[in-house]
């Protein structure tokens, strides 16, 4: 399990981030002693650091620079300042990514996931299983028993999202937001077409359980 350290002086935000990250399956820790952040990071040794810029004692830029002298862990700078200059500054001092407040939670999670994937490539799981279906992430195809069928980029994304949210009802809005966040810009019509095509493909290889349509709400698997 990945360990993420939250360095943020606003207690509410750090608490909520903690809840969010724990829910997403990360082990999150909150820094409370802002005087010795650098030592703290070295002690805890997290897989990833979420770093606010405006902090008591030392600002995030200083901490980032100090950390970069010793360690290579991925750092995401979180700030409410958002000009191009601030972004450039964060990159110059060695931050890996830059997220502005108020953040879109999906984007924040996607960035965390991407950075972790890049920084620790070998530990990545590349087969997702649900029912009798195995979704191969690297090959973007799905297999049931002995049969295998290739998926298009859109179909793969949709199935991936369904599997991640298995057991829940996924609204069309949530599905579309997820797709757009991963740079797949489908509109409402195309979404229906894609889901239907995916359904047919899964049927053809006998995938269980089927994708169910919840009228007026969305889908569930």
Of 43-51, 115-123, 186-194, 195-203: span binding another protein (CB under 8 A) = 186-194
Q: Tokens 């889901």 label which residue?
A: 195
* N residues, the chain: 221
| Residues forming a β-bridge with 35 | none
Residue (of 111, 211, 124, 122) closest to 170 by Cα position: 211
For another protein, the binding residue among 44, 71, 88, 169 (CB under 8 A) is 88
Whole-Å CA distances, 126 to 108, 138, 142, 209? 22, 6, 12, 21
Residue 180 interacts with another protein (CB under 8 A)? yes
For the CB of residue 27, give the shortest distance to another protein in the complex, in Å. 17
Residue 121 Cα distances to 36, 68, 116, 137, 175, angstroms: 30, 21, 8, 14, 27
Q: Is 185 in the site for another protein (CB under 8 A)?
A: yes
What's the closest the beta carbon of residue 12 comes to another protein, in angstroms?
4
Smaller CB separation from another protein, 5 or 202: 5
When the beta carbons of 81 and 214 are compared against another protein, the nearer one is 81
Contact stretch for another protein (CB under 8 A) within 31-39, 77-85, 127-135, 152-160? 77-85
Q: Is 40 helix (H, G, I), strand (E, B) or coil?
A: helix
Nearest residue (CB) to another protein, 33 versus 183: 183
Q: Does 167 bind another protein (CB under 8 A)?
A: no
Whether residue 165 contacts residue 158, with contact meaning beta carbons closer than 8 Å, is answered with: no
The binder of another protein chosen from 59, 173, 203, 208 (CB under 8 A): 173
Q: Give the residue, chosen from 42, 71, 105, 169, that forms a contact with another protein under the rule CB under 8 A.
A: 105
């Amino acid at each position: 399990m990945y360990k993420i350290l939250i360095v943020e002086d606003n207690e509410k935000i750090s608490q909520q981030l903690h809840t969010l990250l724990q829910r997403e399956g990360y082990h999150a820790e909150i820094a409370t002693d802002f005087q010795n952040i650098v030592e703290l990071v070295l002690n805890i040794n997290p897989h990833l650091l979420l770093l606010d810029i405006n902090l008591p004692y030392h600002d995030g830029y200083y901490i980032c620079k100090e950390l970069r002298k010793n360690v290579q862990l991925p750092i995401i700078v979180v700030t409410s300042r958002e000009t191009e200059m601030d972004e450039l500054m964060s990159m110059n001092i060695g931050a890996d990514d830059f997220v502005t407040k108020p953040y879109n939670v999906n984007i924040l999670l996607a960035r965390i996931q991407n950075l972790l994937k890049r920084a620790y490539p070998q530990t990545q799981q590349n087969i997702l299983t649900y029912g009798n279906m195995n979704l191969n992430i690297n090959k973007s195809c799905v297999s049931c028993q002995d049969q295998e069928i290739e998926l298009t980029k859109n179909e793969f994304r949709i199935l991936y999202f369904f599997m991640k949210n298995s057991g829940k009802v996924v609204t069309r809005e949530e599905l579309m937001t997820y797709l757009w966040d991963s740079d797949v810009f489908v509109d409402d019509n195309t979404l229906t077409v894609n889901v239907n095509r995916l359904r047919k493909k899964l049927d053809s290889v006998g995938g269980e359980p089927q994708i169910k349509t919840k009228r007026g709400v969305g889908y569930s698997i």
